[in-house]
Amino acid sequence: MNIPDDQTNRRILVIDDNRSIHNSFRAILHGAESGKNALDEAEARLFGEAPSGPRAVGFSMESAYQGEEGIELLREALNKGQPYAMAFVDMRMPPGMDGLETITKLWELDAALQVVICTAHSDYSWHDLLAKLGRSDRLLILK
């Protein structure tokens, strides 16, 4: 894995109404920040040297539990000059706006934002999503 320099944007926005989804993302993304683990520390004590493995890459994650909240977080981040590199967006987030409307509004604010639709249920077919959002290398759909 190539380790990005300090100028790389590793800010991620997760927009999903399910708190356990946020916890899973946080465990994965923040786990990469932890650096040394117990085995690395034991090796260093035993052999008197730091482990030679690659440096871990960390990510900064922020959570929004509704589309409107995610849009506001993006607006604030842009105003501070700290844009997100990407957003994971659920398609169903009752009672507020759905993922499609959320993505449309996110892209109105930041056309360069990478978006991953990460959902178990969608009220839209892939064809419908592409028709409404357009074909883009900024969009990935995971189901």
pLDDT tens by residue, 78-122? 999 999 999 999 999 999 999 999 999 999 999 999 999 988 877
Output the CA–CA distances (angstroms, integers) from residue 110 to 46, 87, 120, 123, 138, in the order listed. Answer: 50, 11, 26, 25, 11
Output the CA–CA distances (angstroms, integers) from residue 30 to 48, 95, 133, 136, in the order listed. Answer: 27, 29, 30, 28
Report strand pairing: 139-142 vs 60-64. unpaired
Instruction: Report the topology of domain 11-142.
Output: Rossmann fold (3.40.50)
Q: Model-level pTM?
A: 0.77
pLDDT tens by residue, 31-87? 644 555 666 677 777 777 665 555 556 789 999 999 999 999 999 999 999 999 999
Contact yes or no for 75/27 (Cβ under 8 A): no
| Per-state percent for the chain, helix, strand, coil, to nearest 5 | 40, 15, 45
pLDDT at 2: 44
